[in-house]
Amino acid sequence: MSTYDTNRTMTGAAGVAGRIGDVFVAGFGAKSTSIDAPAAALAGRIGAFVAAVFNGVNDWHEARMTRKTLDALSDRELDDIGLCRGDIDSVARRY
């Protein structure tokens, strides 16, 4: 019998990217109350890039874990949930 995985977080990387962007803004000497426009734009682009990288890695990891979990199931268990071995890749890609 399979179990429901509650250890995965669904928050994404926006919080981390925002904190990284704050570090870049602080590094350029901008104050948090009045952010210089070029520094804020650069920090925003860097933060968006870092968030995209983190989200891409997170998506890859989630698909890998889904594929690994489904591969560990027997054919009968897969049949119980309405899947066959050939469906595993398409299910993992949708995650």
pTM: 0.55
Write the DSSP assignment of 12-77 as a string of letters. -SHHHHHHHHHHHHHHTT--SSS--HHHHHHHHHHHHHHHHHHHHHHHHHHHHHHHHHHHHS-HHH
Decide if 80 is inside a domain.
yes
Number of domains in the chain: 1
Which of these ranges, 11-15, 19-23, 56-60, has the smallest mean pLDDT?
Answer: 11-15
Decide if 1 is inside a domain.
no
1 — pLDDT class (breaks 50, 70, 90): very low
Segment 21-52, tens digit of pLDDT: 666 656 655 555 555 778 778 888 898 999 99
* Structural domain harbouring 29: 14-94
Decide if 5 is inside a domain.
no
Decide if 4 is inside a domain.
no
